[in-house]
């Protein structure tokens, strides 16, 4: 997708679920970053410069006559994230012969790009949360505090499945926002959006919670979790990664996207709830990668038509279309046609609810799943698994151990420039099978063993299958191209 440049930045547009609407990922360039408070659910209130607590946590909802105190509690902990992308070499789209025979296309230098977004400080020692799309593949990340202090940030880890990233700056005694409980939010409750729209630093807007658990189909990830808080607080490009806070000044979400036909705010904005943010940030800090728990079901939303067709007794819940063989659900006794209505103490009204509740857990966790089968209610216990079907922790090193590499999916702009529809590019390369075979550090993998590679899950599955084959067949035949569009072929022997 071509980037549209202006003095305001770049807005990445993605098709929305409802006809005639576009979703604009708040993203003032290819990337950006933001900060969020990483604390326990209850912490000491933020103390203002005069040493007095600005707002008591004990005040009830609906009693706040203005938002000045909530703004004071949050504005100093929201940062401006500025990203830089070094010069890239661009080539014209590859035609048929260029793709298969490596004929180089015409090349031209592209100017360095800059972008900006927002972030939220989670801890006094410099951990900051933001959206993944804000900092994705940035060469340099600069964090500017509300008092104009500047720091070069280190990327700790990312999770494209929730569009969350964690940064770190080297500083102590930083202001933070109290971590609130997004589960306690009610539709109609007042919230504030704090961020840096259009490079206008430290901007605060107000609105109400319009809806919860919204799935807007905006994330491009294999195991995405979308359960957004929808608000009507004014949010624009540059707000990405900024704070959504309640009237007590507690963080309840990370602003991520808007629904718009123009790329600017037109009434609807969406934030990742802290119930998801806390789990993702905790995993990245502890393991370097998110521990994704899997129940092992494919779901359908329950409509009036489905209720009539399947003779269901409710419109609430997640309908189990298919159970993954040998997965957690099958082992627990869940069957196709069941309707899941609760996970532990949390009600499941839609498939989005089920995704969110399972997404809060780690592999190996045991959950009570309440379901309806033939009009009868029953509860089963399911032991959640990881993506490999086990219950152990997956480390960042595990993901890169076999091939010696980490990867990221191509952006729409890269796909358009190269004239391809998919691909997985090497992000980092160390001693391992790929490096031994002479694969370059920025190589784009398109096919392995004649199978298209669109995601890391695709590549992992191909490698697992090859490893389980006989020794003579444990070979990866890789087809791909360089970032300049030159096609290359490699053979990687996993048996050596």
Q: Which two tokens stand for residue 106?
A: 């015409």
CA–CA separation, 292 and 159 (whole Å): 10
CB atoms within 10 A of CB 224: 17
240 is catalytic: yes
The CA–CA distances, whole Å, from 370 to 49, 329, 344, 378 equal 50, 12, 8, 6
Alpha-carbon distance of 243 to 239, in angstroms, equals: 8
Cβ contact 321:312 at 8 Å:
no
Separation CA 295–CA 342 (nearest Å): 13
Rounded Cα distance between 334 and 329, Å, is: 5
Bridge partners (DSSP) listed for residue 448: 451, 478
Q: Running DSSP on this structure, what letter comes out for residue 427?
A: E
Query: Which residues sit opposite 323 in a β-bridge?
Result: 297
- Please list, in sequence order, all residues whose beta carbon lies within 8 angstroms of the beta carbon of residue 374, skipping any fewer than 6 positions away: none
Strand partners, 406: 428
- Active-site residue identified among 240, 260, 269, 275: 240
Instruction: Please provide the DSSP assignment of 271-329 as one string.
Output: EEEHHHHHHHHHHHHHHSS----B--EEEEE--HHHHHHHT-S-SSSEEEEEE-TTSHH
Closest of 286, 369, 378, 379 to residue 328, by C-alpha? 369
- In whole angstroms, what is the distance from residue 135 CA to residue 164 CA? 10
- Residue 280 has phi, psi (to 5 degrees) of -65, -50
Query: Which of these is catalytic: 35, 136, 159, 163?
Result: 163
User: In sequence order, which ranges of 102-234 are alpha helices (DSSP H)?
Assistant: 132-135
Q: How many residues does the chain have?
A: 496
Catalytic residue from among 133, 353, 357, 458: 133
Which class for 219: exposed (0-12), middle (13-18), buried (19 or more C-beta within 10 A)?
buried
116 is catalytic: no
**Angle of the 274-287 helix axis to the 351-359 helix axis, nearest 10:** 30
> What DSSP line would sit under 11-58, residue for residue?
-EEEE-SSTT-EEEE--SSS----------SS-PPPB-TTSSBSS-TT
Do residues 445 and 423 make contact, with C-beta atoms less than 8 angstroms apart? yes
- Asked if 353 is an active-site residue, the reply is no
Q: Which residues are catalytic?
A: 133, 163, 240
């Amino acid at each position: 997708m071509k980037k549209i440049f202006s003095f305001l930045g770049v807005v990445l547009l993605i098709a929305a679920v409802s006809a005639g609407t576009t979703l604009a990922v708040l993203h003032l360039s290819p990337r950006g970053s933001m900060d969020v408070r990483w604390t326990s659910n209850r912490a000491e209130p933020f103390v203002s410069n005069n040493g007095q607590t600005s707002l008591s946590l004990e005040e009830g909802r609906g009693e706040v006559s203005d938002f000045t105190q909530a703004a004071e509690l949050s504005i100093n902990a929201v940062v401006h994230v500025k990203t830089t992308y070094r010069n890239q070499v661009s080539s014209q789209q590859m035609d048929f012969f260029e793709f298969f025979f490596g004929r180089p296309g015409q090349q031209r230098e592209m100017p360095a790009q800059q972008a900006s977004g927002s972030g939220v400080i989670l801890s006094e020692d410099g951990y900051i949360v933001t959206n993944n799309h804000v900092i994705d593949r940035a060469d340099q990340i600069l964090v500017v505090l509300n008092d104009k202090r500047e720091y070069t940030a280190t990327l700790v880890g990312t999770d494209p499945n929730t569009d969350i990233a964690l940064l770190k700056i080297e500083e102590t005694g930083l202001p933070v926002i109290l971590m609130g409980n997004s589960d306690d939010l009610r539709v109609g409750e007042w919230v504030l959006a704090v961020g840096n729209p259009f490079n206008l630093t430290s901007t605060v807007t107000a609105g109400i919670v319009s809806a919860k658990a919204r799935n807007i189909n905006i994330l491009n990830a294999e195991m995405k979790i979308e359960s957004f808080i929808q608000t009507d607080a004014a949010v624009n490009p540059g707000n990405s990664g900024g704070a959504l806070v309640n009237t007590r000044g507690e963080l309840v979400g990370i602003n991520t996207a808007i629904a718009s036909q123009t790329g600017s705010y037109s009434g609807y904005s969406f934030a990742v709830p802290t119930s998801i943010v806390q789990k993702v940030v905790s995993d990245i800090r502890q393991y370097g990668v998110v521990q994704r728990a899997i129940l092992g079901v494919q779901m359908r939303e329950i409509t009036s038509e489905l209720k009539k067709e399947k003779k269901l007794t409710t419109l609430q819940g997640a309908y189990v279309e298919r159970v993954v063989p040998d997965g957690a659900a099958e082992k627990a006794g869940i069957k196709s046609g069941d309707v899941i209505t609760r996970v532990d103490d949390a009600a499941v009204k839609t498939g989005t609810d089920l995704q969110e509740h399972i997404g809060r857990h780690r592999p190996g966790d045991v959950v009570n799943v309440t379901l309806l089968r033939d009009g009868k209610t029953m509860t089963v216990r399911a032991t959640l698994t990881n993506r490999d079907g086990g219950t152990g922790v997956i480390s960042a090193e595990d993901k890169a151990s076999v091939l010696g590499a980490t990867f990221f999916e191509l952006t729409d702009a890269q796909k358009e420039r190269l004239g391809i529809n998919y691909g997985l590019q090497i992000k980092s390369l160390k001693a391992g099978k790929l490096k031994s075979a002479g694969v370059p550090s920025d190589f784009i993998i398109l096919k392995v063993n004649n199978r298209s590679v669109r995601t890391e899950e695709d590549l992992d599955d191909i490698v697992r299958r090859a490893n389980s084959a006989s020794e003579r067949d444990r070979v990866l035949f890789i087809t791909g191209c360089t970032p300049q569009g030159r096609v290359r072929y490699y053979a990687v022997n996993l048996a050596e």
